[in-house]
């Protein structure tokens, strides 16, 4: 992975930028632990956290613990061959919050209606 500054945010590595994280729905575990991942405003309910190198599992779980402080819950851990691990985390949307635009529609999905 090549490290370079995001042209939209000076001084931020590309993979840590809100734009890249939102586009890929993936963040490096080390970026979470170093506090460089820009997750404020992340619009989706699911996020993949990626860890490579050694010790992968310890770093991955430490990142999941850190994200737990911000409302993210660990759903699953999946091996990506010999090179890394992915953890899938879930965060419920805020009550009344609009969900992000479905791909190709350009329109926001209204919040679910309580039928009880």
Task: Quick: pLDDT tens for 9-58.
Answer: 444 566 678 888 888 999 999 999 999 998 888 889 999 999 987 788 89
Residue 23 counted as domain residue: yes
Task: Quick: pLDDT tens for 54-89.
Answer: 788 899 999 999 999 989 999 999 887 777 889 999
Residue 102 counted as domain residue: no
* CATH code, 84: 3.30.110
Residue 53 counted as domain residue: yes
Residue 108 counted as domain residue: no
Nearest to 89 by CA among 71, 105, 102, 106: 71
Residue 106 counted as domain residue: no
Pairing, β 46-52 against β 26-28: parallel
* pTM score: 0.69
Residue 14 counted as domain residue: yes
Range of the domain at 43: 5-90
Nearest to 41 by CA among 17, 8, 5: 17
Residue 99 counted as domain residue: no
Residue 98 counted as domain residue: no
Alpha helices in the chain, H assignment, sequence order? 18-24, 29-34, 56-68
How many domains are there within the chain?
1
């Amino acid at each position: 992975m090549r490290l370079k500054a995001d042209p939209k945010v000076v001084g931020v590595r590309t993979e840590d930028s809100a734009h890249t994280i939102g586009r890929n729905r993936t963040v490096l575990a080390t970026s979470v632990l170093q506090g460089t991942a820009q997750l404020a405003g992340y619009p989706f309910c699911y996020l993949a956290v990626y860890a490579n190198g050694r010790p992968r599992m310890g770093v991955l779980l430490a990142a999941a613990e850190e994200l737990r402080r911000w409302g993210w819950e660990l759903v699953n851990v999946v091996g990506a061959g010999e090179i890394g691990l992915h953890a899938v985390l879930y965060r419920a949307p805020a009550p009344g919050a609009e969900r992000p635009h479905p791909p190709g529609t350009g329109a926001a999905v209204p919040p679910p209606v309580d039928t009880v």
